[in-house]
Amino acid sequence: MSPKSGTPKKNLMLFAGRSHLELAEEVAKHLNVTITPQSAYDFANGEIFVRFEESVRGCDAFVIQSHCDPINKWIMEQLIMVDALKRASAKRITVIMPFYGYARQDKKHRGREPITARLIADMFKTAGADRIMTVDLHTAQIQGYFDGPVDHLLAQTLLADYVREAYPEENITVVSPDSGRVRLAEKWADQLGGCPVAFIHKTRDPHKPNEAVAKRVVGDVRNRLAVVIDDMVDTGGTISKAVEQLLNEGAKDVVIAATHGVLSGPARDRLANCGAREVVFTNTLPIPEEKRFPTLTVLSIAPLLARAIEQVFEDGSVTNLFNGNA
């Protein structure tokens, strides 16, 4: 008997968890696809149920979920979605987490501590994920925790282009909030045309999470627009103290530019009243109206995610989206 011939059909299907449907719908619009319908709800005891309403057999599945508050619930929902796709015979499953939950727990600071960022990668691999796509990891080595391809997308170009267009006449100094992100600040400086770089020397008590003390500014910020960059802003304590320190050092104005607006607890009030001229985030995480303030600007990451999804689906190069620097 001769084998049956035929051309395998590639079928892109987009699946969205419930944490940030606005971003998922925007990505779907850029891809010119619809989000696959599903039934998803919580049982009375908090257990999550997910069932897809269409056949997913043989599809190239992309599962998007933002890991926001309540973070454990949304991570679990995404894991359940991946498991459902694997058991329904999806051909390839790409997990899209614009914000990688638990990324700050990427190493042991003291004995008897977990490395939870690795645990997250292991759970998604066990659930059936073939690939992970994420934006601006807290530390790049987290890519090595997942036993498979990881597309580490960079929001730097989106944020830097906005700053350059919004402040074309300003003398800019790119400021790293600590010595660990000076390398990133140098990349920002190159993209902004070779402007100076500074960083804030600070100390942090390992026994007190989300607390840091800004000590002094290393670099020239006097009479210049200081652009403070970071991957995330959680409670806003560190970044608001950095703004205060920069203004005390003679900075003309301060702009905060970060990828992930976690904005826990008092973050809104701190950022609104810290003295920054503008605060710029992307929408990797939902920022509801009650957390917004007049000087806040939110840029959409959806076009970047859509282009990356297209490259993965077409077996193209994701690295080319960043001029080979990803």
Rg of the chain in Å (alpha carbons) = 21
Q: How far apart are CA 154 and CA 133, in angstroms?
A: 11
Instruction: Indicate if 10 belongs to the active site.
Output: no
Please give the single-letter amino acid code of residue 65.
Q
Measuring CA to CA, which residue among 140, 98, 68, 101 is closest to residue 300?
A: 98
Q: Which of 86, 202, 252, 291 is catalytic?
A: 202
Residue 114 phi/psi, 5° resolution? -85, 165
DSSP-based three-state secondary structure for 93: strand
Cα 116 to Cα 18: distance, rounded to the nearest angstrom: 23
What type of residue sits at position 172?
A: I
Cα(291)–Cα(289) distance, integer angstroms: 5
The whole-angstrom separation of Cα 219 and Cα 269 is 28
Catalytic residues: 202
